[in-house]
């Protein structure tokens, strides 16, 4: 049956595949055809709309459909697991359990905690409650053995509860929030795209929540996508506190079994709200009612390797197939979405004021030309920090460069620690005592002497978050400094604990990369300092201005998010007159985005043209160049505009030499239809077999 999984022999292996059609005849030669060995699903695995979405995605991104299916399905289903719900367990406290609480020995701390927790939760533990409280079923084993808890299978999983209001604590909406809801609500049950364009802290989340309420009342499901690092347990808690329905969160920390169970329950309609990152877009829904893409401009929605899809763009397609409204939310909308508004493909809704009583932060650009910088910090910024700290408020210093210093240099001969496999420096990490290339992940020990002149005088050059953390600890010895970047948050739950500490006011000064720029709400944070913008202002990528504007606006938005705390933002720059900085802070993101859009139109860049990039790499640059030149020849007479091939901006990466060919056309459909007959044959080219190549449709990085 179309949509069912089957197994097929393939060489010595047996593979899992999905039936996509029953053609009467085929051009595939007989001896290449394999027969189905076994049928796994007696029913189609996916709801029709999702099946259609995957088929569409395969065509649109010109990626083999088998690979698209396997990247959209949970791992266990790819391995042939039955699409059946595993039993779910519930633990109930017994009479003995309640009595045991009074007679427990003093040192039975853990048992007392568990029993109390259970009693406070009406005497039951559900699996979901356990995972929310960082517990696992085996923690309860002793209590079960003692007869204090009974473990039972949840037989009939109850459908979403109708009494969705039970825990409700809705805020009174301001006029703009109300207008947004009034605009969207009439479209429930049909397709319509919205752009919720609201400054940071304007209460977008509250709008989502109150709309979810309406959707749940219709007994429909909500799918909410969030960026990779914005995904916090707080989001889940906030939803669970608000609604008395089942909420699930899809994130990288789940086991395969948990992931499959959520997938299956969502398909049965047993989960009402699904929150997740990029790939959660492919969660099947029995009764879809609303799709939300929060922080829609975020780069993490684009998969950058293999099946290179944009979850935001596919979410729009899915909403159309599912006949549901979709909301793209952002304080800094992407040029693509703003363009879609201009073309009436999305309806724009604005939230222009901070919600509650919080007022927008005061922003100033600090000219640091000719000023003395103490490891990147100017005196006015340090003074500013002192003022805020003395009032018991928190400061955030933003520096988008992890490690201690961007590289090491020899004081005698000028040698610089470059990565031998990339066109980049090796970053100096003091804490890990290593040199690390952030592009190919190569690591080695810190050299004791210069490899060129043997001098021991190797000095770190430049400033990374680790160094900034040191400097701040010295400048403010009685304050608690915390660094948040990818290095400091490697351990499981580290981020969660950091966020808790910040919100509990156990931290005074935060040093962070873009991990801290997004989504977080720290009520007592009043000063944001941006240490180094100059690196972002000059870049070859036509998207650089957009990205920098988004990043700076988002970082600035962390300051002063509650009513008692006045926010202030200080941006250090050697180019205070740079148009981007001037526009961003004398006007606003909207004015700037209009300028950026005008430039894009002028230069014939996306979103005013559709773009695709062929990328290729091999050990020598000449191989990808030859291949791409042949691709270019095949594109002759297609009417497509072709640029290149040229070496990629970072030509050498991980030991490979890379080149690219840019292809454009005003119309997406034309680009699509002219490329699709060409790509399948490229692997047959002699030059195509000597390189690794890929096609990136709607690339986000050039």
List the single partner that 481 binds among ligand ADP, Zn ion, none, CB under 5 to 8 Å by kind. none
Residue 120 burial (C-beta neighbours within 10 Å; 0-12, 13-18, 19+): exposed
User: Minimal distance in Å, beta carbon 276 to ligand ADP?
Assistant: 18
Compute how many residues bind Zn ion; rule: CB under 5 A: 15
Which H or E element spans position 262?
Answer: helix 256-268
Residue placing its CB nearer to ligand ADP in the complex, 292 or 671 = 292
- Residue among 78, 94, 142, 174 that touches ligand ADP (CB under 6 A): 174
Cis omega before residue 546 (within 30°)? no
List the single partner that 455 binds among Zn ion, ligand ADP, none, CB under 5 to 8 Å by kind. Zn ion
User: Minimal distance in Å, beta carbon 561 to ligand ADP?
Assistant: 6
Instruction: Identify which range of 170-178, 283-291, 364-372, 433-441 contacts ligand ADP by CB under 6 A.
Output: 170-178
Can residue 356 be called a binding residue for ligand ADP (CB under 6 A)?
yes
User: Minimal distance in Å, beta carbon 575 to ligand ADP?
Assistant: 29
Which H or E element spans position 544?
Answer: helix 544-556
Instruction: Identify which range of 12-20, 55-63, 173-181, 418-426 contacts ligand ADP by CB under 6 A.
Output: 173-181
Pairing of strands 692-697, 38-39: unpaired
| Closest among 513, 493, 567, 621 to 233, alpha carbons compared | 493
Residue placing its CB nearer to Zn ion in the complex, 381 or 450 = 450
User: Minimal distance in Å, beta carbon 410 to ligand ADP?
Assistant: 47
List the single partner that 410 binds among Zn ion, ligand ADP, none, CB under 5 to 8 Å by kind. Zn ion
- Residue among 58, 91, 160, 206 that touches ligand ADP (CB under 6 A): 206
User: Minimal distance in Å, beta carbon 186 to ligand ADP?
Assistant: 21
Count Cβ atoms below 10 Å from residue 35 Cβ, excluding itself: 7
Give every CB contact of residue 198 below 8 A, 6+ residues apart in sequence: 176, 204, 207, 329, 330, 331, 349, 350, 351, 352
536 is known to lie in a ligand binding site: no
List the single partner that 412 binds among Zn ion, ligand ADP, none, CB under 5 to 8 Å by kind. Zn ion
Can residue 205 be called a binding residue for ligand ADP (CB under 6 A)?
yes
Compute how many residues bind ligand ADP; rule: CB under 6 A: 16
410 is known to lie in a ligand binding site: yes
Instruction: Identify which range of 90-98, 126-134, 167-175, 505-513 contacts ligand ADP by CB under 6 A.
Output: 167-175
Q: Are 465 and 483 in contact (CB under 8 A)?
A: yes
DSSP-derived secondary structure letter, 415: -
State the virtual CA torsion across 259, 263, 269, 270 in degrees, nearest 10. -20
72 is known to lie in a ligand binding site: no
User: Minimal distance in Å, beta carbon 497 to ligand ADP?
Assistant: 21
List the single partner that 356 binds among Zn ion, ligand ADP, none, CB under 5 to 8 Å by kind. ligand ADP
Can residue 198 be called a binding residue for ligand ADP (CB under 6 A)?
yes
Residue placing its CB nearer to ligand ADP in the complex, 521 or 634 = 521
List the single partner that 320 binds among ligand ADP, Zn ion, none, CB under 5 to 8 Å by kind. none
Residue placing its CB nearer to ligand ADP in the complex, 228 or 423 = 228
User: Minimal distance in Å, beta carbon 209 to ligand ADP?
Assistant: 8
List the single partner that 650 binds among ligand ADP, Zn ion, none, CB under 5 to 8 Å by kind. none
Residue placing its CB nearer to ligand ADP in the complex, 241 or 689 = 241
Instruction: Identify which range of 166-174, 417-425, 499-507, 687-695 contacts ligand ADP by CB under 6 A.
Output: 166-174
453 is known to lie in a ligand binding site: yes
Strand partners, 610: 665
DSSP-derived secondary structure letter, 124: E
Count Cβ atoms below 10 Å from residue 669 Cβ, excluding itself: 9
Residue placing its CB nearer to ligand ADP in the complex, 396 or 458 = 396
User: Minimal distance in Å, beta carbon 327 to ligand ADP?
Assistant: 12
413 is known to lie in a ligand binding site: yes
List the single partner that 413 binds among Zn ion, ligand ADP, none, CB under 5 to 8 Å by kind. Zn ion
| Closest among 236, 233, 176, 228 to 209, alpha carbons compared | 236
Long-range contacts of 388-392 (CB under 8 A, 24+ apart): 388/526, 388/527, 388/568, 389/476, 389/479, 389/508, 389/509, 391/526, 392/505, 392/524
118 is known to lie in a ligand binding site: no
List the single partner that 453 binds among Zn ion, ligand ADP, none, CB under 5 to 8 Å by kind. Zn ion
Task: Catalogue the E-assigned strands of 104-186.
Answer: 124-126, 149-154
Residue placing its CB nearer to ligand ADP in the complex, 314 or 349 = 349
Can residue 202 be called a binding residue for ligand ADP (CB under 6 A)?
yes
List the single partner that 204 binds among Zn ion, ligand ADP, none, CB under 5 to 8 Å by kind. ligand ADP
Angstrom distance (rounded) from CA 106 to CA 291: 51
Residue placing its CB nearer to ligand ADP in the complex, 203 or 567 = 203
Sign of the alpha-carbon torsion through 346, 349, 352, 355 = negative
DSSP per-residue codes, 639-679: --EEEEEEEEEEEEETTEEEEEEEEEES-HHHHHHHHTTTG
- Residue among 47, 74, 201, 560 that touches ligand ADP (CB under 6 A): 201
Q: Which residues within the stretch 502-541 sit at the binding site for ligand ADP (CB under 6 A)?
A: 521
Angstrom distance (rounded) from CA 548 to CA 533: 9
DSSP-derived secondary structure letter, 688: G
Angstrom distance (rounded) from CA 37 to CA 43: 17
Residue 116 burial (C-beta neighbours within 10 Å; 0-12, 13-18, 19+): exposed
Q: Which residues within the stretch 405-464 sit at the binding site for Zn ion (CB under 5 A)?
A: 410, 412-413, 415, 419, 421-422, 437, 439-440, 442, 450, 452-453, 455
Can residue 465 be called a binding residue for ligand ADP (CB under 6 A)?
no
Can residue 173 be called a binding residue for ligand ADP (CB under 6 A)?
yes
Angstrom distance (rounded) from CA 226 to CA 234: 13
Helix, strand, coil percentages, rounded to 5, for the chain: 35, 25, 40
Angstrom distance (rounded) from CA 519 to CA 298: 11
Can residue 78 be called a binding residue for ligand ADP (CB under 6 A)?
no
How far from 255 is each of 137, 229, 252, 259, CA to CA, in Å?
14, 19, 8, 6
Strand partners, 646: 660
Q: Could you list the residues that contact ligand ADP (CB under 6 A)? A: 171-174, 177, 198, 200-206, 355-356, 521
User: Binding-site residues for Zn(2+), please?
Assistant: 410, 413, 419, 422, 437, 440, 450, 453
Q: Could you list the residues that contact Zn ion (CB under 5 A)? A: 410, 412-413, 415, 419, 421-422, 437, 439-440, 442, 450, 452-453, 455
User: Binding-site residues, please?
Assistant: 410, 413, 419, 422, 437, 440, 450, 453
């Amino acid at each position: 049956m179309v949509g069912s999984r089957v197994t097929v022999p393939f060489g010595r292996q047996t593979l899992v595949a999905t039936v996509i059609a029953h053609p009467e005849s085929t051009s595939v030669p007989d001896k290449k055809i394999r027969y189905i060995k076994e049928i796994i699903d007696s029913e189609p695995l996916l709801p029709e709309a999702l099946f259609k979405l995957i088929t569409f995605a395969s065509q649109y991104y010109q990626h083999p459909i088998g690979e698209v299916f396997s990247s959209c399905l949970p791992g266990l289903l790819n391995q042939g697991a039955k699409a059946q719900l595993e039993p779910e367990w519930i633990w109930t406290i017994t009479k003995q359990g309640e009595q045991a609480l009074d007679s427990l020995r003093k040192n039975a701390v853990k048992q007392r905690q568990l029993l109390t927790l259970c009693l406070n939760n009406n005497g039951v533990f559900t699996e979901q409650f356990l995972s929310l409280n960082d517990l696992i079923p085996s923690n309860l084993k002793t209590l079960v053995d003692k007869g204090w808890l009974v473990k039972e299978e949840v037989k009939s999983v109850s459908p979403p509860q109708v009494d969705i209001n039970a825990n409700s604590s809705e805020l009174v909406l301001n006029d703009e929030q109300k207008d947004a809801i009034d605009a969207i609500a009439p479209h429930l049950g049909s397709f319509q795209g919205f752009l919720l364009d609201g400054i940071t802290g304007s209460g977008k989340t509250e709008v989502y929540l109150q709309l979810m309420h309406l959707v749940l009342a219709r007994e429909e499901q909500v799918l909410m996508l969030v960026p990779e690092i914005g995904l916090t347990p707080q989001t889940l808690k906030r939803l669970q506190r608000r609604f008395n329905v089942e909420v699930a969160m899809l994130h990288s920390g789940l086991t395969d079994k948990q992931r499959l169970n959520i997938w299956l329950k969502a398909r049965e309609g047993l989960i009402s709200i699904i929150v997740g990152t990029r790939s959660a877009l492919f969660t099947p829904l029995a009764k879809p009612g609303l799709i939300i893409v929060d922080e829609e401009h975020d780069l993490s929605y684009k998969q950058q390797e293999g099946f290179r899809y944009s979850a935001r763009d596919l979410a729009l397609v899915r909403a159309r197939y599912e006949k549901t409204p979709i909301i793209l939310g952002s304080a800094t909308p992407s040029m693509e979405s703003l363009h879609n508004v201009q073309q009436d493909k999305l309806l724009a809704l604005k939230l222009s004021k901070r919600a509650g009583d919080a007022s927008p932060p005061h922003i100033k650009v600090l000219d640091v030309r000719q000023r003395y910088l103490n490891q990147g910090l100017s005196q006015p910024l340090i003074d500013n920090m002192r003022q805020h700290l003395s009032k018991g408020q928190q400061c955030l210093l933003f520096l988008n460069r992890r490690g201690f210093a961007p590289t090491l240099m020899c004081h005698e001969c000028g040698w610089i620690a470059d990565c031998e496999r990339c066109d980049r420096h090796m970053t100096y990490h003091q804490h890990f005592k290593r040199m690390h290339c952030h592009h190919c992940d190569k690591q080695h020990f810190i050299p004791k002497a210069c490899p060129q002149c043997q001098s021991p005088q190797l000095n770190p050059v430049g400033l990374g978050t680790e160094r900034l953390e040191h400097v701040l600890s010295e400048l403010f010895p009685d304050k608690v400094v915390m660094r948040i970047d990818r290095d400091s948050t490697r351990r499981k739950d580290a981020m969660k604990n950091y966020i808790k500490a910040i919100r509990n006011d156990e931290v005074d000064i935060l040093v962070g990369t873009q991990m801290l720029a997004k989504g977080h709400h720290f009520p007592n944070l009043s000063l944001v300092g941006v240490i180094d913008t100059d690196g972002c202002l000059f870049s070859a990528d036509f998207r650089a201005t957009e990205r920098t504007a988004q990043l700076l606006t988002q970082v600035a938005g962390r300051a002063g998010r509650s009513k008692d705390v006045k926010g202030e933002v200080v941006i250090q720059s050697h180019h205070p007159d740079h148009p981007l900085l001037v526009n961003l802070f004398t006007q606003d993101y909207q004015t700037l985005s209009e300028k950026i859009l005008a430039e894009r139109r002028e230069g014939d860049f996306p979103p005013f043209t559709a773009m695709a990039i062929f990328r290729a790499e091999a050990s020598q640059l000449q191989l990808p160049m030859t291949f791409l030149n042949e691709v270019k020849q095949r594109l002759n007479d297609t009417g497509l505009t072709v640029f290149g091939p040229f070496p990629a901006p970072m030509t050498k990466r991980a030991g490979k030499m890379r080149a690219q060919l840019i292809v454009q056309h005003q119309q997406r459909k034309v680009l699509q239809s002219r490329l699709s007959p060409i790509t399948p044959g490229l692997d047959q080219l002699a030059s195509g077999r000597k390189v690794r190549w890929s096609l990136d449709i709607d690339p986000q990085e050039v």
